[in-house]
Amino acid sequence: MTTDTEFIPGAYAPATAEPLDKIEPTPVAEIADIVERAAKAQPDWAAKTLKERQKLLNEAAQRVLERAEEIADIVSMETGKSVNEVLLNEVAGIGEYAKVAAKEARQVLKPSKVSISSVAYPGKRAVVEAVPRGVVGIIAPWNYPLSIFFKPLFPALLSGNAVVLKPSEYTPRTGQWLADRFGEVIGEDLVGVVQGGGDVGAAFVESGIDAVTFTGSVPTGKKVAARAAELLIPASVELGGKDAAIVLADCDMERTLAGIAQWSLHNCGQNCGAIERVYVEEDIADEFVRRLGALAEHIRVHPTGDHCEIGPLQNPEQRAIVEDHVQQAIEEGATLVAGGEPCGDGLGYRPTVLDHCTEDMKVMSEETFGPVIAVARVADVDEAVRRANDSPYGLNGSVWTTDIRRGEGIARRLDVGIALVNNHAIPGSMANIPWTGTKDTGTGIAASRYSYPTFVRRRTLFVDKSKKPDPWWFPFDENSRELANSLIDFSRGSLMAGLGMAGVARRRVDAIRKWVGSTKSSE
């Protein structure tokens, strides 16, 4: 396939360029019905205990694992990744993910008792509860068409919501398959699906959903966030990246090279958390670049069957971007160390290493989303940190060094959501670490207990067991001033306790307790 071939998203296999059966988009007029069916099914689901929901979701995850090969074949067909890669990077983690997500849910969803001063507010108690939003819309991209759903799917369902998935039109079958497995166990209306492109996505946001999580590009994410703000529904947006790695002269060269190659090239670089820029200290740059180039040349690329480590790019637009970025970098003076050309029948592209890159090159400033490592040589750490932070994105940033403590200090200077030492983007597969960024990467938090504001609202249940009217209720009378002064005194007493004057504070509390207890009888 060439990038000029007429192309219908989702209707061809990227690895072989074979046509696939067309998946019909959901008619826009039917989207609201799917959401309504989910809304009707949701209250019964929410009425179950967390333990019951967890048990059913574990069963659904179990079904995915039982049919691992089947879904791996579908993902492989739709994306071009090898079955091995899909099994390892998209399927295998679901069991652990479900387990850890449930552990997080137990923490976040448990009602929290509010501590209320029995002196200032006698007879009162309050508890803050987590209430599911209703129907959560989950809009996903094509790069990890299965596992990207896990981040919102588990917390949303564990909290008692129904969900409706909107897979990318490039990978419609994977999203449908996942929804079917969950639907078989918990009820098909609770896990709806809408299929189609941008028009369907836009209509979906309008369709009556109560919250939306969006993973995708910056321009679309901004549109979704703006519309959600108008509709006053919570939106969590996880957008693009241009991650940097800083390689220090004292790094463990062997492991650093393996780590950089892994996190740049894995998934053919189509990873929001891919290392796209490497800032390496000048002292080790020659050796680092030479060995990184050799490593890239030895990676088994599409088409080399099941053991192929890197599949093709997923779609022709993506390959056109990669080709454009690489060509422009070379024209602007970058040195091509490895790769730099297509391979295979489909949309393959060789792992590429470029040296002497500068920020005016697209490979350093725009998201490439392909198997391209842009290397820049730096004089010292300060230059590396300044240049790493000079990006519109801020997802992951990593520092590679044998001096861990120094590495932590440098990592903290990176303007990113996930700062790492000697690894990169690995928290993306963990259910209890927030996946989040800064700047154009978006404000969303995916995964972990910190993601729950999208899935639950907080409701306060406040109960008053007092037999008398509160002392500050109407009517004001001759005692009101005395009460006000006593309360002010009490406040001062509380602050004194905080300042280490507990004895004085206690005497004031005793006095006000006596006073409040003796006034405003309801009889």
DSSP character at residue 310: B
Residues 6+ apart with CB under 8 A from 501: none
Q: Work out the number of other CB atoms within 10 angstroms of the CB of residue 366.
A: 18
Q: Is 272 a catalytic residue?
A: yes
Does the protein bind ligand NDP through residue 366 (CB under 6 A)?
Answer: no
Angle (CA) 41 45 49, round 5°? 170
Q: Among 223, 468, 492, 520, which residue sits at the site for ligand NDP (rule: CB under 6 A)?
A: 223
Closest by CA position to 418, among listed 386, 450, 383, 387: 450
| Six-digit token string for 493 | 């007493």
Q: Is 357 a catalytic residue?
A: no
Does the protein bind ligand NDP through residue 392 (CB under 6 A)?
Answer: no
Q: Among 142, 150, 154, 177, which residue sits at the site for ligand NDP (rule: CB under 6 A)?
A: 142
Does the protein bind ligand NDP through residue 268 (CB under 6 A)?
Answer: no
| Residue of 85, 104, 169, 238 marked catalytic | 238
Binding marks (x or -) toward ligand NDP, 82..121, rule CB under 6 A?
Answer: ----------------------------------------
Rounded CA Rg of the chain: 28
Does the protein bind ligand NDP through residue 451 (CB under 6 A)?
Answer: no
Q: Among 240, 311, 371, 394, which residue sits at the site for ligand NDP (rule: CB under 6 A)?
A: 240
Closest by CA position to 57, among listed 150, 171, 194: 150
Closest by CA position to 392, among listed 443, 424, 438: 438
Does the protein bind ligand NDP through residue 197 (CB under 6 A)?
Answer: yes
Does the protein bind ligand NDP through residue 75 (CB under 6 A)?
Answer: no
318-333 per-residue burial string, b: 16 or more CB within 10 A, e: under 16:
bbebbbebbeebeeee
Distances (CA, A) of 296 to 77, 80, 349, 411, 470: 25, 19, 12, 26, 74
Residues contacting ligand NDP: total by CB under 6 A:
31
Does the protein bind ligand NDP through residue 80 (CB under 6 A)?
Answer: no
Does the protein bind ligand NDP through residue 440 (CB under 6 A)?
Answer: no
Does the protein bind ligand NDP through residue 140 (CB under 6 A)?
Answer: yes
Question: Which contiguous run of DSSP H or E holds residue 324?
Answer: helix 316-331
* Per-position DSSP letters for 232-268, written without gaps between them: T--EEEE----EEEEE-TTS-HHHHHHHHHHHHHGGG
Does the protein bind ligand NDP through residue 31 (CB under 6 A)?
Answer: no
CB of 15 to ligand NDP, least distance (A): 19
| Residue of 78, 85, 268, 272 marked catalytic | 272
Does the protein bind ligand NDP through residue 26 (CB under 6 A)?
Answer: no
Of 63-71, 119-127, 140-148, 488-496: span binding ligand NDP (CB under 6 A) = 140-148
Residues that bind ligand NDP (CB under 6 A): 139-143, 148, 166, 168-170, 197-198, 201-202, 205, 215-217, 220, 223-224, 238-241, 272, 367, 369, 395, 435, 441
Residues marked active site are found at: 238, 272
